[in-house]
Chain A
């Protein structure tokens, strides 16, 4: 799995995040008060304006204190009923249709079906639920205002804040129920689609040459576009190799004098690894410390390469290494990239070695050799009892761990060949969490996104007409998903310039890397783009980054979603919901209809 940024610990995040939120809120309040006062002063004079603002603030505080859960729930129930009237269940029908016909559109020859199917169900659910939330939230309030049905509510003793909050809660309830049902169907779909078995191709079974145990090797039948090779012991039990991220256990069943082999269900396909990541640093070919390894000229700079048969090394420092956490030694998993500067022996892989080192004393273990398995997760168990290079025995925790820290030094052994690594490419698989729970956590991420869209939709609908509120929410959604792109264009990191420049390039069919001809036109175009992109950057900064709430890649690649990440997502979303609620309340209060 690509680890774009370090996982954030909730305890380290919450205090600065809270301070930042309070500062932003205070600033916005101050700006709103000053702006409001200026407008009111213009309309009613300095004293009258001040009075309006005073009453507004006082009313706001009163409304906040007097928020009634009963009224909010009643309004939420109305929103639920309205959603049902507007045939929200059609969305669920569409989801079922997508699942039913998914097999038509998905890559049946995929090497990694678990990743493919999980990504598919999670992405389809996300888009569908967000669209439903968008349409429900953006059109509800404007339709009520337009049809005057809002008067049946505002004439009752309800407050503007309760109307806004009631809608958000109501639509969120509908979205939650939909999500729960979709999640259940998705889970069953994935389990059913991925479950398969094979038959042992008995004719292919041959004794393994020079095997003292008398094992036999052969292959299985073809199923789901793959087959396995397998090894069976004299008692008829054995297992297959790892293909498409899973293996099968094989057992023998005797009936009379006939032996039949039974291949079990796939194992290791749906996992939730809990990785312990280390900090990565490098040493260059001369043995000097370096932040990164060598670039082998790839466009994607994620991996950094270590040159073979030199002093170059990749060093991970792991913390919190205790016998309680790893009683049997260190379970190392790694995905190491290979770059050959010459072909060498094609039949043989590129060799590397791992050494465990005490960061304080420098004591090191003997080398553990491996052949780099490009693009596959390789597993290496480092036992507790080790030896040093001279053959003296070492205890992992007593001799190599200091203050809970241990270093893993990786080296490439073949001259002029390179091993590519990134921080997340070597980790300790501390344990496996429940896949089902992980799946639920990924749905929690979708739920958070749904809540955000609902809040934004309701907020925009307090001061815009239905279609415009929908477009505004959609724009927020697109900007939220494409925040990185917008910022990249604004900073010039993405070639081709801003909207005006790229439009000119499209019309003139000009490559993004060629420079525009210097002159007045180019200057004006660049200026216009910089103004527009500054505005877009500011807007993007205010909106939630929706990618931050997505946990699809964790689940699809078989990694546990860190609980801290879930907490960060929930609290971040809460901040945005509160902001949307406050803005929606203010706008609704200023409208004639809600007074």
Chain B
């Protein structure tokens, strides 16, 4: 190739570059102060709030590191993730921590990085350490990592939700929660100027969750999070706060107010419009109203339905079945073939007499009214069922009941007496323990009489059964007999029923008159009552 050819080739390259730069420059023209909205890219960035200033803080370090990879950011991120995995495997925590910082700088607006690695630090790495002080340190490292993420992604509810969840749940529910909560209260670096009295992980965590709620209220979508669970967390924090307070020995007005506040929060949550998978907005508090409406509509339809119409429709539907369908349906379930089982299920659906079927057959002046009753009833019933499903997901009925029961003076008294009894038991003060348990059990009797549905709550019955076991042990040590009839015999029965048979075949089941299996072997009633 001679010099002339080389020169021509260079000119051609320069022209090609210029030709490509022109449309690029047109597309990426910036917005100006004189009203110009700029090029397409600029407008799209504006429309979807994608500019760095919209997303969060502009960090020169992050921008530099991105530029330094010369467009190979994906490759660099991939290598760093590999390195992070390797460091994790080889337990090089300093290396892992440094690598995570670099990944975060490289991909500051990739929220999943912050979420995944924040969790990794708080949940996976913390447990690698034996000393709970170290564990706590890494839990906080994870939370701080997520907080750092919010600086780059200020309108991201997912990060704030995770911060709130980790502060509340990891610190409050880990095996080391007693130690973690103590360290959290003492942690001046994390809590800053927050007064010591307010340094409760449930309350601090709730504040972060509420921040996330405020961001969503401003219109930011909740990507990948269930609204039901999202909005249930702040009230749950208050419930856990009140519960933990009692577990740690705070009762009286303080605990009562905490429970009332938790109850108010649940009521507020239950009155919130929540989207569902059925594309309708529901409120958890409206289930009873819908059920009532459905019942009324059904009663109205029953009133308008001529006698025998429902049976007649059922007979007609049965007559319309094919021989094959009838045979499958009539064959006893245990003798059906696989095909017949499927067919029988479909036939069962076919044979159901729906309200609309009945309304359709009512003629004359009542037709319109019957049709309306059928339709209203169906809609109300569907709404009630939808709310019921959502309620089950967050255990709404239980927590609402708990928030009603716990601020009651008898319940608070019962809990305090049992707490005092448990403490005296651990200190070996038998007489004090006996008196406290005795008082506590009587108060629990009053509470259960007021709220019988408590017997269905395994958490309550299990707690009580453990305390009853202690009570039995105390009686044994004091050479006294387990009382018959026992004041909370129904609790023991409910617990035995929930757990099912516990003893090997041939031995008597643990029910009635103090012959339960709640206590340790030495608490066996046979030994306790000589």
Partners in one complex: yes
Show the binding face of A for B, using Cβ within 8 Å.
2, 101, 104-107, 109-112, 115-116, 119, 222, 299-300, 302, 338, 340, 343, 346-347, 349-350, 372-375
Determine the chain B residues whose CB is within 8 A of the CB of A302 once the complex forms: 90
CB neighbours (8 Å) of B189 from chain A are 222
Give chain B nearest CB distance to A416 CB in angstroms. Answer: 15
Q: How many residues of B contact A (CB 8 A)?
A: 28
Q: Is B98 located at the chain interface by the 8 A CB criterion? A: yes
Partner of A111, one of B90, B93, B105: B93
Judged by a CB distance under 8 angstroms, whether B335 is at the interface is: no
- Contacting A at CB under 8 A, from B104-129, are 105, 129
User: Contact at B98–A110, with CB atoms within 8 Å?
Assistant: yes
Chain A residues contacting B176 (CB-CB under 8 Å) are 346
Q: 13 pairs across A/B with beta carbons < 8 Å? A: A105-B105, A107-B100, A110-B94, A110-B97, A111-B137, A115-B94, A300-B89, A300-B91, A346-B175, A346-B179, A374-B129, A375-B91, A375-B93
Closest 6 CB pairs of A and B: A104-B61, A374-B130, A112-B94, A338-B130, A107-B98, A107-B101
Partner of B61, one of A101, A109, A340, A343: A101
The dominant DSSP class at the A interface is loop
Q: B94's closest neighbor in chain A, by CB?
A: A112
Residue of A nearest to B176 (CB): A346
| A337, chain B: closest CB distance, angstroms | 8
CA distance A112 to B93 in the complex (A): 9
Check if B77 is an interface residue, CB within 8 A of chain A: no
Query: How far is A72 from B91 in the complex, measured between Cα atoms in Å?
Result: 50
B91 touches A106 (CB 8 A): no
The reply to whether B61 and A105 form a contact with Cβ atoms under 8 Å apart is yes
Q: Which of A105, A111, A374 contacts B65 (CB 8 A)?
A: A105
Q: What residues of chain A lie closer than 8 Å to B504, measured between beta carbons?
A: none
Check A109/B134 contact, CB under 8 A, given A101-B61, A104-B64, A302-B90. Answer: no
B138 (CB) vs chain A CBs: closest residue: A111
Q: Tell which of B89, B94, B101, B131 touches A299, judged by Cβ atoms closer than 8 Å.
A: B89
Kindly list chain B residues whose C-beta atoms are within 8 Å of the C-beta of A374.
Answer: 129-131, 134
- Chain A nearest CB from B241 CB (Å) reads 23
Task: State the Cβ distance, A234 to closest chain B Cβ, in Å.
Answer: 27
User: In the complex, A115 Cα to B141 Cα: how many Å?
Assistant: 18
B60 at the interface (CB under 8 A from A): yes
Q: In the complex, what distance in Å separates the CA atom of A142 from the CA atom of B64?
A: 35
Chain A residues with CB under 8 A of B101? 105-107
Tell me the smallest distance from the CB of B189 to a CB of chain A, in Å. Answer: 6
B60 touches A372 (CB 8 A): no
Q: Which residue of B lies closest to A372 (CB)?
A: B130
Residue of A112, A299, A340 near B130 (CB, 8 A) is A340
Q: How far is the CA of A338 from the CA of B89 in the complex (A)?
A: 16
Do residues B141 and A346 form an inter-chain contact, with CB atoms below 8 A? no
Which of B98, B129, B144 has the most chain A CB atoms inside 10 A of its CB?
B98
User: Within 8 Å CB of A373, what residues of B?
Assistant: 131
CA distance A412 to B414 in the complex (A): 45
* Bound CA–CA A343/B130 (angstroms): 10
Docked Cα-Cα span, A372 to B93, in Å, equals 18
A275 to B97, CA, bound (A): 27
Contacts of B131 in A (CB 8 A): 349, 373-374
Residue from the list A116, A222, A349, A372 in contact with B94, Cβ < 8 A: A116
Given A104-B64, A109-B141, A372-B130, verify A347-B179 contact (CB < 8 Å).
Answer: yes
Q: How far is the CB of A245 from chain B (nearest CB, A)?
A: 10
Q: In the bound complex, how far is the Cα of B101 from the Cα of A49, in angstroms?
A: 63
Provide the bound-state CA to CA distance between A463 and B132, in Å: 62
Q: Would you list which residues of chain B between 158 and 186 have a CB under 8 Å from chain A?
A: 175-176, 179
Q: Could you say which residues of chain B place their CB within 8 Å of the CB of A343? A: 175
Residue of A whose beta carbon sits closest to that of B92:
A2
A303 CB to nearest B CB, Å: 9
B91 touches A116 (CB 8 A): no
Q: Give Cα distance in the complex from A368 to B144, angstroms.
A: 40
Given A346-B132, A350-B130, A375-B91, A101 contacting B64 (CB threshold 8 A): yes
B28-65 contact mask (Cβ, 8 Å, vs A): 1 or 0: 00000000000000000000000000000000110011
Chain A positions within 8 Å of B144 at CB level: 109
Interface string of B219-239 (1 = CB under 8 A from A): 000000000000000000000
Which chain B residues numbered 174 to 230 have a C-beta less than 8 Å away from chain A? 175-176, 179, 189
**Cα–Cα distance between A119 and B97 once the two chains are bound (Å):** 14
Task: Select from chain B the residue with minimum beta-carbon distance to A374.
Answer: B130
- Which residues of the other chain, B, contact A107 by a CB distance below 8 angstroms? 94, 97-98, 100-101
Instruction: Determine the residue in chain A with the shortest Cβ distance to B132.
Output: A346
- Is B102 an interface position by the 8 A CB rule? yes
Give the chain A neighbours of B93 by CB distance below 8 A.
111-112, 375
Chain A residues within an 8 Å CB radius of B137:
111
- Besides A107-B97, A111-B94, A347-B132, 17 new A-B residue pairs in contact (Cβ under 8 A), listed by A number: A101-B61, A104-B61, A105-B102, A105-B105, A107-B94, A107-B101, A109-B97, A110-B98, A111-B137, A112-B94, A302-B90, A338-B130, A346-B179, A349-B130, A349-B131, A375-B91, A375-B129
Q: How far is the CA of A115 from the CA of B94 in the complex (A)?
A: 8
CB distance from A218 to the nearest CB of B (A): 14
When distances are taken between beta carbons in the complex, the residues of chain B under 8 Å from A101 are: 61, 64
Shortest distance from the beta carbon of B465 to any chain A beta carbon, whole Å: 23
Chain B residues lying within 8 Å of A338, measured Cβ to Cβ, are 130
B164–chain A nearest beta-carbon distance, Å: 21
Nearest Cβ in chain B — how far from A19, in angstroms?
A: 35
Contact B98 A106 (CB under 8 A): yes
Q: From residue B198, how far is it (CB to closest CB) to chain A in Å?
A: 21
Please name the residue on chain B nearest to A350 by beta carbon: B130
> What A residues does B132 contact at CB under 8 A?
346-347
Residues from chain A with a CB closer than 8 A to the CB of B179 are: 346-347
Q: How far apart sit A372 and B141, CA to CA, in the bound complex (Å)?
A: 23
Give A106 to B90 CA distance when docked, in angstroms. 20
Residues of B within 8 A of A110 (CB): 94, 97-98
Q: Tell me the bound Cα distance from A115 to B179 in angstroms.
A: 30
B151 CB to closest chain A CB (Å) equals 14
Q: Can you name the residue of chain B whose Cβ is closest to the Cβ of A244?
A: B94
The distance from the CB of B200 to the nearest CB of chain A, in whole angstroms, is 20
A346 and B44 CA atoms in complex are apart in Å by 54
Query: How far apart sit A373 and B131, CA to CA, in the bound complex (Å)?
Result: 8
Q: How far is the CA of A373 from the CA of B93 in the complex (A)?
A: 15
CB-contacts of B60-102 with A (<8 A): 60-61, 64-65, 89-91, 93-95, 97-98, 100-102
Residues of A with C-beta under 8 A to B61? 101, 104-105
A338 to B132, CA, bound (A): 13
Residues on B with C-beta less than 8 A from A106 are 98, 101
Cα distance A356–B65 when bound, in Å? 53
Q: Is the CB of A375 within 8 A of B134?
A: yes
Query: Given the complex of chains A and B, what is the CA–CA distance between A105 and B106 in angstroms?
Result: 10
Q: Quick one: closest B residue to A119, CB to CB?
A: B95
Interface membership of chain B positions 133-160, coded 1 if the CB is closer than 8 angstroms to chain A and 0 otherwise: 0100100010010000000000000000
Which residues of B lie under 8 Å from residue A105 when comparing CB positions? 61, 65, 101-102, 105
A residues near B129, Cβ cutoff 8 Å:
374-375
Contact partner of B60 (CB less than 8 A), chosen from A104, A119, A350, is: A104
Cβ–Cβ < 8 Å partners of B94 in chain A: 107, 110-112, 115-116
- Interface centre among A2, A106, A109, A338, by most chain B C-beta atoms within 10 angstroms, is A109
Min CB–CB distance A374 → chain B (angstroms): 4
Distance of A128 from chain B, by nearest CB (Å)? 13
Determine if B98 and A116 form an interchain contact, defined as CB atoms under 8 angstroms apart: yes
Q: How far is the CA of A340 from the CA of B129 in the complex (A)?
A: 10
Closest CB of chain A to B175's CB: distance in Å?
Answer: 6
B359 to chain A, nearest CB (A): 53
What residues of chain A lie closer than 8 Å to B65, measured between beta carbons?
Answer: 105
Chain A residues with Cβ below 8 Å from B102 are: 105
For A111, the chain B residues whose CB sits under 8 A away are: 93-94, 97, 137
Which chain B residues border A104 with CB–CB below 8 Å?
60-61, 64
The smallest beta-carbon distance between A555 and chain B, in angstroms, is 14
CB-CB under 8 A from A2, the residues of chain B are 90
Query: Which residues between 449 and 470 of chain B lie within 8 Å of chain A, taking CB atoms?
Result: none
